[in-house]
Amino acid sequence: MRDLNARFQYKSDTEQHNLQEKWTILRNPTGPLVGDCEDYALTALWMIEGKNDSAFYHSLQTGQAKIWFCYTPSGEAHAVLEYNGLMIDNIQKDWKSKEAFESFGYVFKYAFTYKEVTWRLKAGEANRSPKLAMMLTVIKEDDKNPLMFIGIAIAIGAIIWLIT
């Protein structure tokens, strides 16, 4: 975490990419790591897992790691990494318990599902438009209606066709 903390520079997705949201693993081997809170969380996990994509996804899939949506003490929407029961973010920059974060004023809402994290990363890596990225993120683990998935797939296909 020392390397990440030393090189991390906060910049919002709006400032950096002109997108409301873009989830990215910051893979710059030597220079600055510029991103926002979820980029920090994703990059921290990727580094913990030895910069190995398979291990990164496995830890998310098995629940060893979670990306939490929460609010900071100042009320800002935020993302925090939980790994093996401890948490870290780009504000605290140190491993602490969830209770410690809550004592600082963080309000945790939910952990993103594996499916949500992978969809958001795929949208970010493909540099999708904000509307398409938002469409990709509406699919939740608890959505079981196959007709909805067909409708979303058709809509996404149409948007990709229009973009290309």
- For the beta sheet containing 107-111, the strands, ordered from the edge strand earlier in sequence to the opposite edge, are 86-88, 77-83, 65-71, 107-111
pTM assigned to the model: 0.78
Structure confidence by residue, pLDDT tens digits, 26-77:
999 999 999 999 999 999 999 999 999 999 999 999 999 999 999 999 999 9
Structure confidence by residue, pLDDT tens digits, 107-141:
999 999 999 999 999 988 776 644 555 555 554 44
Query: Total structural domains in the chain?
Result: 1
- How many whole angstroms separate alpha carbon 112 and alpha carbon 149? 19
- How many whole angstroms separate alpha carbon 46 and alpha carbon 52? 7
Tell me the backbone φ, ψ of residue 3, rounded to 5 degrees.
-60, -45
Residue type, 59: S
Q: The domain spanning residue 64 has which CATH number?
A: 3.10.620
Domain of 110, in residue numbers: 2-163
